[in-house]
Amino acid sequence: MYSRFNALPNYDLEEIKGSTVAVVGLGATGSVIAENLARHGIKLVLIDRDYLEMNDLYSSNLYDKEQCEKALPKAKAAESKLSSITKVEAHVTDLAEDNKQILDSDLIMDGTDNIETRYLIGEYSKDNCVPWIYTSALGERGFSMFIEEKCFKCLFDRIRPKDSCESNGIMREISSIAGSKSSLKAVKYLSGVEVKEKLEIIPEMDAYDVGECTCEGLELKTSQVCGENKFQVHGNRKPSSFSGEEIVSNEYLRRIRIEGSQVTIFNSGRAIIEAESLERAEELYEKSSDI
């Protein structure tokens, strides 16, 4: 199975196969990373709080139409596809302060679409001396960076995009290249090959040194996520406490309709809400208990 890879110099297959990598987020970039690393025989810890939608068929090769129609959790859907290739441990959860220990691995791969989770990964990385690789895609541009000593918060403060995936979309080919670029860095690092801490921009493939700074703490709050008029609201209410027209429900989430808006509530209490504004999303989160 690995004959072509074994023909390459400077890589230690046994060292790679003996490694464990946590992949956080299994969308356009994360699903590419997970599949690439699985085919190297790396044990995977897959972490994703979200469910599949039909637009994931455009973004990723890993999922099929039936999985999207059933709104399966991305982590479980990816596990079902990759467990025949390598060992996979799936977590359907929101990465938070009180469960960051699930990141325990030799390397952490970022496949998320929000800054709060990336800050949590960065904090865990520094506290536990575990490197991670930042990956993102927006419009026709992607980013990849191996991070071991640098501060991600400083990096993001400098490159923070003015646009969003909502307004600019994501070209699937760019997300695939960005995910593959980060996968290559992971394989190199796990083989003992030096990987420089520089931000690479795709498709230009220019590399930049982001410098140094002192990072500050993180406060989780309501934020916009990828998707048409969708907002993430943090809370501690159980899915069963929400009232509304039920659309779909499983052991991981409950999706309902409230005043024409879809509200998806996860077991942690976090919700993804369709709304015209951040304020309206927060209003719907609270209002659903009164219906």
Map tokens 């976090």 to a residue: 270
Last residue of a domain, one of 208, 232, 256: 208
The closest of 284, 252, 281, 275 to 51, measured between CA atoms, is 252
Calculate the CA 47 to chain-centre distance. 8
Q: How far is CA 56 from CA 15, 52, 63, 179, 227, in A?
A: 33, 6, 7, 15, 11
Is 159 in the same domain as 42? Answer: yes
* pTM for the predicted model, two decimal places: 0.73
**Is there a single domain that holds both residue 73 and residue 204?**
yes
Q: Nearest-CA neighbor of 50 among 70, 19, 75? A: 75
Kindly give, in sequence order, each residue whose CB lies less than 8 Å from that of residue 157, ignoring residues fewer than 6 positions away.
none
Residue 270: Cβ within 10 Å count: 22
Task: Single out the residue in 208, 237, 272 at which a domain terminates.
Answer: 208
Residue 148 lies in a domain: yes
Instruction: Please give the DSSP secondary-structure letter assigned to residue 117.
Output: H
201 and 262 together in one domain = no
Opening angle at CA 157, ends 153 and 162, nearest 5: 135
Whole-angstrom distance, CA of residue 67 vs CA of residue 57: 10
Number of domains in the chain: 2
Give the other-Cβ count within 10 Å of 105's Cβ: 20
Q: Same domain for 282 and 198?
A: no
CATH number of the domain bearing residue 68: 3.40.50.720
Q: Report the residue count for the chain.
A: 291
Whether residues 250 and 166 fall in one domain = no
State whether 60 and 192 are in the same domain.
yes
Structural domain span for residue 176 = 3-208
Name the helix (H) or strand (E) containing 233.
strand 230-233
Query: Does residue 188 belong to any structural domain of this protein?
Result: yes
Q: Is 224 exposed, middle or buried (0-12, 13-18, 19+ CB in 10 A)?
A: middle
Shared domain for 47 and 172, answered yes or no, is yes
Sign of CA dihedral 279, 48, 142, 149: positive
pLDDT in tens, the chain (291 residues): 766 777 778 777 778 888 999 999 999 999 999 999 999 999 999 999 899 989 888 888 899 999 989 889 999 999 999 999 999 999 998 888 888 899 999 999 999 988 888 989 988 898 888 999 999 998 888 999 999 888 777 777 665 554 445 556 678 899 999 999 999 999 999 998 999 999 899 888 778 776 665 555 445 556 666 656 788 787 778 888 888 888 888 777 788 888 888 888 877 777 888 888 888 888 888 876 544
Is residue 168 a part of any domain in this protein? yes
State the DSSP code for 171.
Answer: -
CB of 242 closer than 8 Å to CB of 289 = yes
Domain annotation covers residue 218: no
